[in-house]
Homo-oligomer: A and B are copies of this chain.
Amino acid sequence: MRAQGRPILSPPYGEPSPHEAAVVRIPFPGRVNTTAGASLTPLQSVRGIITPSGLVFERHHGGVPDIRPDAHRLLIHGLVERALVFNMDDLMRFPSVSRMHFLECSGNSAGEWGGLGKTVQVTHGLLSCCEWTGVPLAAVLQETGIDPRARWLLAEGADAAAMTRSVPMEKALDDALLVYAQNGEMLRPEQGYPLRLFLPGFEGNTSVKWLRRIKLGAAPFMTREETSKYTDLMPDGTARQFTLLMEAKSVILRPSGGQQVHGPGFVEIHGLAWSGRGRIARVDVSVDGGRNWRQAQLQEPVLPKCFTAFRLPWQWDGAPAILQSRTMDETGYVQPTREALIAARGFNSFYHYNGIQSWRVGVDGNVDNVHA
């Protein structure tokens, strides 16, 4: 207090405290090719339901292109009444909407089928939640018109991978958005600047970034990312395809793997729940590996297809404990145990792991990931 502090506007666009330098994204384990890789949100440090844009996870298939917004175009063609090309000014002149929605890679928690990630950043970090602003895709399709034969659309990104995914027309006309802003400012480059498709509640990969082309068709387009990848190999050797919806899931962030509980006494158990089907209806928490459950408090606002924060006060007696959370969404869907998930899906799967997560608190207060 004896010296003047740093002046205003140093810098004009602000940054976190240097004392928070450890709160950053880290690489997805084992991903060596960094243009076709992923980075993970430090969920153990996240508070509330908004993920800061600088910490939103990344998943790229050909790196992050550098796109000048005045040079960007979106072509909509195929089974439309008239093919149209839009520039960013055109799209930003449409009526806009802002909505808070989670975004989860369907590969999130994939390591938990067989392994045990050390921290919640590793086990659940392909997951974030932002306020997204853009134009309803349905409004833009009113301009092109829709041929009644159209049942699917192809969305294509302007990255080096030309990421392409097929999307059912029902979703396109329901709540799909053409998004240009995130958390109050234009999209970050790694989130698709200047334009991405956003499909609330669908697997993250279908919210195609750097969106340059939409083609309407009578059938799905059978792209690489929905045939050789992003399918679910079942125990009998057949594959589920187009499992686009992200089912209800929850995880405790604090205490979680790699953290330490500082002695017996009051501990707030704090976590997040989300569902691609709508609102979270309830979250139950167990401290004894699932034998007994108590209902957690949900933080308002509880919004559809959005993070819902939950909390449960806990008096830790210092004995070993296994912490779990289990959520139910407004459709009545209940997050499965790891055991039930594996009974249904086997061990061939990579995507869409939403089993209950277990954190063991040892007598020394250390928290570890366990399969319980």
Please list the residues of chain A having a beta carbon within 8 angstroms of any beta carbon in chain B.
1-10, 12-20, 23-27, 31, 34-35, 37-39, 45-56, 58, 60, 62-66, 68-69, 89, 93-98, 100, 131-133, 158-160, 162, 181, 183-190, 193-194, 262, 266-268, 270, 299, 301, 303, 309, 311, 313
Contacts and interface: CB of A to CB of B under 8 A. Distances in A.
A55 B185 contact: yes
B20 A64 contact: no
A275 to B, nearest CB: 17
5 contacts: A6-B190, A18-B66, A19-B68, A48-B133, A48-B181
A98 B65 contact: no
A294 B355 CA distance: 50
Contact of A160 (B2, B35, B62): B2
Given A10-B64, A17-B193, A46-B185, 5 more contacts: A1-B158, A6-B190, A13-B24, A97-B299, A301-B301
Contacts of A184: 46-52, 55
Contacts of A100: 301
B262 A23 contact: no
Residue in A2, A4, A55 with the greatest tally of chain B CB atoms within 10 Å: A4
Contact of A66 (B6, B7, B26, B97): B6
Nearest to A58: B8
Contacts of A15: 13, 54, 188
Contacts of A53: 14, 52
A280 to B, nearest CB: 15
Contact of A19 (B7, B47, B69): B69
Contacts of A31: 8
A97 to B, nearest CB: 7
A5 B186 contact: no
B50 A50 contact: yes
Contacts of A186: 16-17, 20, 23, 45
A185 B20 contact: yes
Contacts of A94: 268
A19 B186 CA distance: 10
A58 B53 CA distance: 20
B3 A89 contact: no
Contacts of A62: 4-5
**Which 5 pairs, one residue from A and one from B, show the smallest C-beta to C-beta distance?**
A5-B63, A48-B98, A7-B34, A47-B181, A12-B24
A162 B5 CA distance: 12
Nearest to A28: B8
B89 A262 contact: yes
A95 B5 contact: no
Residue in A27, A48, A131 with the greatest tally of chain B CB atoms within 10 Å: A48
Given A1-B159, A49-B131, A7 B266 contact: no
A14 B60 contact: no
B5 A39 contact: no
A92 to B, nearest CB: 9
A270 B95 CA distance: 9
A13 to B, nearest CB: 4
Contacts of A48: 98, 131-133, 181, 183-184
Contacts of A262: 89, 93
A239 B277 CA distance: 56
Residue in A5, A187, A270 with the greatest tally of chain B CB atoms within 10 Å: A5
A13 B270 CA distance: 24
